[in-house]
């Protein structure tokens, strides 16, 4: 591998991909029951969802500065070139923190070659960008080529189309602009949202989960590149049936055959609550696609 790809636990990539491409994943912090836990180490996504079921409100914190310092220093000492693909800077300060630590490490190791890239994404949207970057690194692409690809994908080139069962989680966490337009007590109304310029943005609202999933399928048809083997990533917040339904509709109605399905991890789970489902994919804004 010519380049080490680093990311954080907001990417929601499954362990087999992380292990296959030797991706370094740094943990966000989760605050629960008066304690701080390292995501994926002392706390797992299931623990977060169980806390939500129990009426608790777990919160997230940035990747700790020392984690960045330790990881970046390790690679600097070994002379390994690095790319850190960060969770959207509009939704977390982690990207800015990483840049500060990278500058500090570079002051101690002037030859250290590291790029910190704001993915403008989260969950498997960020995960797709990391996945492609890691595949390119394994294939021997230059660091500059990989950085350019990551930057291209980060400019609204990866779609996040999703619905949640309770928008109040996003509203309380400050993760959604104009959320008040979607708040209310209308029975069984489901919002459809996407990510634009790194922020969560409402598209519309529909009545019922079935219509919400159907609308996601329509938006995939409208916005995706259209090739049947294009990778479509699906994530869900403890709702595997919704993920299964979405996958089968994308397969039967649109002909897609290449899927990556995983649970929404702790970082996003704290902010969307139970019951969300999403589709992530490269859109038509750029014709080229690097397939892992």
Supply the pLDDT for residue 81: 98
User: d(Cα 240, Cα 45) in Å, to the nearest integer?
Assistant: 14
- Average pLDDT of the residues in 250-266: 97
Q: Are 214 and 183 in contact (CB under 8 A)?
A: no
Q: Contact at 8 Å (CB) between 72 and 114?
A: yes
pLDDT band of residue 44 (cuts 50, 70, 90) is: very high
Q: Name the domain count of the chain.
A: 2
Asked, for residue 291, whether it belongs to a domain, the answer is no
Q: Does some domain include residue 51?
A: yes
pLDDT band at 7 (very low <50, low <70, confident <90, very high): very high
Average pLDDT, the chain: 91
Domain boundary among 124, 153, 182: 153
In a domain, residue 124? The reply is: yes
The band of 181, judged by pLDDT with boundaries at 50, 70 and 90, is very low
pLDDT (0 to 100) of residue 292: 45
- Residue 109 CB neighbours (<10 A): 16
Q: For residue 170, what pLDDT is reported?
A: 66
Question: Which domain covers residue 123, as residue numbers?
Answer: 4-153
What are the φ and ψ backbone dihedral angles of 159, each rounded to 5 degrees?
-85, 145
Domain end residue (candidates: 93, 127, 153)? 153
Q: Is the pTM of this model over 0.85?
A: yes
- What residue has token string 């996407």? 194
Over 90: is that where the pLDDT of 188 sits? Answer: no
| Predicted confidence (pLDDT) at residue 153 exceeds the cutoff of 50 | yes
């Amino acid at each position: 591998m010519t380049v080490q790809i680093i990311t954080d636990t907001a990417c929601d990539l499954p362990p087999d991909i992380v292990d296959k491409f030797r991706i370094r994943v740094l943990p966000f912090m989760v605050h629960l029951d008066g304690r701080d836990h390292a995501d994926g180490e002392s706390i797992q996504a299931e623990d977060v969802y169980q806390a939500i079921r129990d009426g608790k409100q777990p919160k997230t914190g940035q990747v700790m500065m020392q984690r960045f310092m330790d990881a970046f220093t390790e690679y600097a000492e070994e002379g390994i070139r690095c790319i850190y693909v960060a969770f959207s800077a509009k939704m977390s300060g982690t990207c800015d923190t990483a840049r500060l630590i990278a500058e500090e490490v570079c002051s101690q190791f002037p030859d250290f070659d590291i790029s910190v890239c704001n993915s403008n994404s989260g969950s498997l949207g960020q995960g797709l960008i990391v996945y492609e970057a890691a595949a390119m690194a394994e294939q021997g692409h230059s660091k500059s080529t990989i950085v350019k690809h990551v930057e291209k994908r980060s400019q609204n080139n990866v779609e996040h189309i999703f619905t949640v069962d309770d928008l109040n989680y996003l509203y309380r966490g400050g993760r959604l602009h104009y959320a008040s337009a979607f708040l209310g007590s209308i029975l069984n109304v489901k919002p459809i949202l996407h990510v634009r310029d790194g922020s969560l943005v409402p598209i519309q609202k529909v009545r019922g989960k079935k219509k919400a999933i159907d609308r996601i399928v329509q938006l995939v048809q409208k916005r995706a590149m259209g090739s049947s083997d294009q990778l479509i990533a699906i994530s869900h917040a403890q709702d595997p049936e919704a993920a299964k339904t979405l996958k089968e509709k994308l397969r039967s109605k649109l002909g897609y055959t290449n899927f990556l399905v995983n649970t929404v991890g702790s970082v996003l789970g704290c902010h969307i609550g139970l019951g969300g489902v999403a589709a992530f994919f490269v859109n038509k804004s750029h014709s080229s696609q690097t397939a892992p």
